[in-house]
Structure 1
Amino acid sequence: MRARYLAILATDTEDGRRAAAKARAACRGGSPYSVVVDQPDFVLITDGKAPTIPVGRHEGMVVGRIYSRSGGPPLSKLDGSWIHMIPSSHGAVLMETFWGSYVAFVRSSGRRQISVLRAPFGGLACLVARSGAALLVASDLELLAVAGWRPAGIAWDQVVLHLLARDLRRARTCIAGLEELRGGERLLLAEDRVERDPVWTPWAHAGIASWASDRAAGVERVRHAVLAAVTSTTAEAKHPLLLLSGGLDSSIVAASLRANGRPFTALNLSGHGAIGDEREYARDVARACGAALVEEQWQVAQVDLTRSSPELLPPTPRAPSCRRPTGSPSERQWRRAPTSCSTAAVGTMSSVHSSR
């Protein structure tokens, strides 16, 4: 289950005060939500399923997990010079220095400006909508509705663009009035204006300055980065569960777990036809890594098309962003996996099911 959060910015306006009051009310009466930040112009509530890390005393909050580039488990606090450098850079230093799966809210030093940043490759969704003069930022549509936001209908122009180029991600979604803050982007709210700009871009790492001196050096850099990432993201797991197709991505994760000396269990999901059956490849990888392999099949008949699971809504405007049926085969098979496995590493077969 993904972490959920709702932020209301510009709560010093009439629209913001109304939205904030509704958010606070949603935290009462045994609700899973709690108020994490309550400031005159910024309110944040979460369900507690992701860590929250303060930026300084009152300079903001990071929702999600962040890691040091030198490796190790997720950070539990930001201290030292970071508490000054992050606000003064409008959050850019956070993105340049750390990595992970997070959405950060950073108040600029000495100014009434708040920046919202989303990790370049993070899995934590970041949907953005306006409610009058207030800006709403949330993990999902249901929490936007808690703050009083309602969709204005279907954005048919975006539907057309999506059908023409479904793999080209855009800030605007197919729902009118709803946008997505894409990975690596920053949203700056200052006075009455909202600005969006890319803080992280792959092109900054594709130039000559980033080239390795030779092939061996390049191989070692990639190997070190992958091992460090797998080590960090599975640091809190007692026994990782890997969704293993036997393809390139999941095989690399499997080899990394083995290289790190982490025992793990692999799960393979196959279809009823040859095109969806990758069990032989998964068996080869599991055998090479000395891992137990659990084989299951997709059970399409178990899908209930009359129900939906909004918590599975991906943070993209693609067609699969429509609410998915409850009891999808991958979700059901996941829940049937060995209960001794506490956290999953991700391969190419399915979405991330993890405590990350």
Structure 2
Amino acid sequence: MDNDYIAILAPSEEHTGAKLTRLADTFHAMGMVVRYASGRLTLFGMKDLSTLPLPGGGILIGHLFTQDGIAIRNGARLQESSSPTQIQQHILKTYWGSYLIIQPDMQDPGAFTMTRAPSAAGNIPCVWSIKNGAGFLTSDVSLAVRALLYRKQINWDFIAHCLSYPAIKTQRTGFVELAELLPGCSLRTSGSKVSVRQAWSPWDFVAREHRYRDLHDAADHIRHAVESAVHARADVDRSILLELSGGLDSSIVAACLRNRREHIVCCNLVTPVPGVDERQYAGQMARQLGVELHTRHLDFDNACFDFAPPPNSVAPTMGPLQHVIDKAIEAAAEYYDADTYYTGGGGDSVFCYLRTAAPSADAWRAHRFGTAITAARDLAGVHQCTVWKAGRLALSKLRRAPRSPFHQDPTFLASSSVCAEPEAHPWFAAPPNALPGDRERIFDLAGNQLFESQAARGYRRPLRFPLLSQPVMEACLRAPSWMWITEGKNRAVARTAFSDLLPPDVLNRQSKATYMSYLGALYERNKLQVEDFLLSGRLRSQDLLDTHAIRSFFSMPLSSGDRTFLRMFELCMVENWIRHQP
């Protein structure tokens, strides 16, 4: 893809000669040329790779926008600063986008700092391997493999962690000596030393001094942020396939694409069993855009457990459901000649769709009695219960210890393989006085960083997640959790922000589609295949599975309401990824 890059770090400037010449020939054969060089660092990229020179001799790979969504195409617009850190912070606080910043340190020759944009998804990828001062950073590990700079080797400690804590994104990957630079983090290399730190934190935006006080003020800011994020991307995209489910989140993205000159194709998915058919809502939104709604069917025959992950995959994240969805949407993009995907993914997290009593508990802790009583009434409306029960749940929430971001699942794992110590995500570092609702929504946001790697279609065409862009996250985090349940409606601030742009049926719906019936039917149809897949695979050969428990589960009929079978899909996801590695 056009945003592919690889930055080579030589141990010293004296070692950049012959090896660099060989690498240049290798990358030239891949269509890549030298796009930047400074000291012992050389950046190779596609000819169409978007870059921006920075003050102080650095470079920005990717795209940078103002808060109003205007593309920055000239580094001269960035203010001159006295240090790389000041330049970095100026970009993080003033602009947004999908980018990687590379900065040499003028005070420490040979030292570099690399910073990845904070957007939780739709970001420029960055994995790295640096040892003894030499190595690489790249958008795609397969580039390093093809250049003989890296040899894939499974990191079994990571696999054990992934099995025990399947929903946690970490900087570790499924390969030995390969790490990911997470969104909003910076990597510094100086000599043989390498360190990673957090350069941007979501916790800054939930602080009391940054909270919105008024619902309509919050709605105005959030609408501006979402519209700017969508328009900024749409200005550079020729043809868009909008993944329009008919839910609130994707409909908001659709509303922001109204009156655009780009060719827009709206694609909706349906399954052969109940639970996902939302054409009545998606169709209204498509008609409002003045386009036809195209439907794709998720057949059982196209769902499989054994499939090749994309070449840039560095961890198991894509299960059978993601695979069949991916293939259906990719086929639609091919058929309608779309060059970019747009999705409302991440909307539940940014729009604070919490399913607990946390918003009311937050109001009790942060405000006066009147606000807390109103929040209890709103919570009762959301969950269709009495005010007394809502208040009791909120007080119970306040008395309990804060919710942990770690949810260990030892089901069907060998006791010796269960990983006891989870690896923390940088966004899990909550301040001591953090409110329960803020903890829950920021922990959820961290999990959204898995979304991009769950969609292989993003390997061939850009996949845009406007709702997970930096300005939208920042604007939404400033709205306190209790404001999001105003008048007993979930995601209330987003509904207020776009109330004049959404059809009433879409604006007022509280239900959400579910793939549970489809997944249950998929399991029943493939039960024997799944059992054989797990019991004859590499996870078993590594003694990571409790084979007795697995056989026992498959020998019993699946009882109504039992969702334990979903754990089998998680295990198959990991097994499949491992089978396609060296």
TM over 0.5: yes
Higher RCO (CA < 8 A, seq sep 6+):
2
Counterpart of 1:203 in structure 2 is 203
CA deviation after TM superposition for structure 1 residue 223, in Å: 0.9
Counterpart of 1:45 in structure 2 is 44
Letter of the structure 2 residue corresponding to residue 140 of structure 1: D
The counterpart of 2:64, out of the listed 55, 66, 73, is 66
CA deviation after TM superposition for structure 1 residue 336, in Å: 1.0
Q: Is 1:3 paired with 2:8?
A: no
- For each residue in 1:60-102, what CA deviation from the matched residue of structure 2 results, as whole angstroms up to 9, or x when unmatched? 2111111111322x22121145353672436232222211111
Report the secondary structure of 1:37's partner residue.
strand
CA–CA separation in structure 1 for the residues paired with 2:192 and 2:112: 12
The counterpart of 1:104, out of the listed 82, 101, 105, is 101
Letter of the structure 1 residue corresponding to residue 44 of structure 2: I
Q: How many residues are paired up?
A: 347
User: Taking structure 1 as reference, are residues 208 and 132 closer, same or farther at Cα in structure 2, changes over 3 Å only?
Assistant: same
Residues 133 and 190, structure 2, Cα contact 8 Å, conserved in 1? no
User: Taking structure 1 as reference, are residues 260 and 61 closer, same or farther at Cα in structure 2, changes over 3 Å only?
Assistant: same
Please identify the structure whose Cα radius of gyration is greater: 2
Identity rate, percent: 24
Q: Which piece of structure 1 moves more, 207-216 or 102-111? A: 102-111
User: Taking structure 1 as reference, are residues 163 and 284 closer, same or farther at Cα in structure 2, changes over 3 Å only?
Assistant: farther
Counterpart of 1:54 in structure 2 is 53
- For each residue in 1:280-332, what CA deviation from the matched residue of structure 2 results, as whole angstroms up to 9, or x when unmatched? 33213223443322222346757899984635x45x6343299x89x933322
CA deviation after TM superposition for structure 1 residue 46, in Å: 0.8
Report the secondary structure of 1:150's partner residue.
coil
CA deviation after TM superposition for structure 1 residue 238, in Å: 4.3
Report the secondary structure of 1:45's partner residue.
strand
CA–CA separation in structure 1 for the residues paired with 2:319 and 2:184: 20
Report the secondary structure of 1:27's partner residue.
helix
Structure showing the higher helix proportion among its residues: 2
Q: Which piece of structure 1 moves more, 61-70 or 7-16? A: 7-16
Q: Which piece of structure 1 moves more, 204-213 or 129-138? A: 129-138
CA–CA separation in structure 2 for the residues paired with 1:41 and 1:147: 18
Provide TM-score, normalisation by structure 2. Answer: 0.54
CA–CA separation in structure 2 for the residues paired with 1:246 and 1:173: 34
User: Taking structure 1 as reference, are residues 27 and 210 closer, same or farther at Cα in structure 2, changes over 3 Å only?
Assistant: same
CA–CA separation in structure 1 for the residues paired with 2:319 and 2:142: 14
CA deviation after TM superposition for structure 1 residue 17, in Å: 5.6
User: Taking structure 1 as reference, are residues 318 and 303 closer, same or farther at Cα in structure 2, changes over 3 Å only?
Assistant: closer
Letter of the structure 2 residue corresponding to residue 62 of structure 1: L
Q: Which piece of structure 1 moves more, 133-142 or 258-267? A: 258-267
CA deviation after TM superposition for structure 1 residue 272, in Å: 3.2
- For each residue in 1:151-184, what CA deviation from the matched residue of structure 2 results, as whole angstroms up to 9, or x when unmatched? 4622222112112222211111121111000000
Q: Which piece of structure 1 moves more, 283-292 or 38-47? A: 283-292
Residues 7 and 136, structure 2, Cα contact 8 Å, conserved in 1? yes
Matches for 1:1-356 after TM superposition, within 5 Å = 1=1, 3-12=3-12, 20-28=20-28, 31-56=30-55, 59-72=57-70, 74-80=71-77, 82-84=79-81, 87-89=84-86, 91-112=88-109, 113-121=111-119, 122-130=122-130, 132-151=132-151, 153-258=153-258, 264-298=264-298, 308=308, 310-311=310-311, 313=312, 317-320=315-318, 328-337=327-336, 339=337, 341=338, 343-348=340-345, 353-354=461-462
Letter of the structure 1 residue corresponding to residue 91 of structure 2: L
CA deviation after TM superposition for structure 1 residue 55, in Å: 1.3
Letter of the structure 2 residue corresponding to residue 103 of structure 1: L
Residues 22 and 148, structure 1, Cα contact 8 Å, conserved in 2? no
CA RMSD, 1 decimal: 3.3
Structure 2 gap segments, 5+ residues each: 346-450, 465-582
- For each residue in 1:78-131, what CA deviation from the matched residue of structure 2 results, as whole angstroms up to 9, or x when unmatched? 114535367243623222221111112112344322111111114221011125
Report the secondary structure of 1:328's partner residue.
helix
User: Taking structure 1 as reference, are residues 220 and 19 closer, same or farther at Cα in structure 2, changes over 3 Å only?
Assistant: farther
Structure 1 gap segments, 5+ residues each: none
Residues 86 and 94, structure 1, Cα contact 8 Å, conserved in 2? no
Letter of the structure 2 residue corresponding to residue 354 of structure 1: P
Residues 272 and 299, structure 2, Cα contact 8 Å, conserved in 1? no
CA–CA separation in structure 2 for the residues paired with 1:321 and 1:139: 22
CA–CA separation in structure 1 for the residues paired with 2:89 and 2:33: 28
Report the secondary structure of 1:275's partner residue.
coil
CA–CA separation in structure 2 for the residues paired with 1:238 and 1:217: 33
Residues 27 and 147, structure 2, Cα contact 8 Å, conserved in 1? no
Provide TM-score, normalisation by structure 1. Answer: 0.84
- For each residue in 1:209-244, what CA deviation from the matched residue of structure 2 results, as whole angstroms up to 9, or x when unmatched? 211131111111111111111111111234533121
Structure showing the higher strand proportion among its residues: 1
Residues 267 and 329, structure 2, Cα contact 8 Å, conserved in 1? no
Residues 50 and 65, structure 1, Cα contact 8 Å, conserved in 2? no
Report the secondary structure of 2:76's partner residue.
coil
- For each residue in 1:23-63, what CA deviation from the matched residue of structure 2 results, as whole angstroms up to 9, or x when unmatched? 3122335x41111013331100012343111113x612111
User: Taking structure 1 as reference, are residues 103 and 223 closer, same or farther at Cα in structure 2, changes over 3 Å only?
Assistant: same
CA–CA separation in structure 2 for the residues paired with 1:317 and 1:342: 26
CA–CA separation in structure 2 for the residues paired with 1:305 and 1:318: 13
CA–CA separation in structure 1 for the residues paired with 2:292 and 2:90: 41
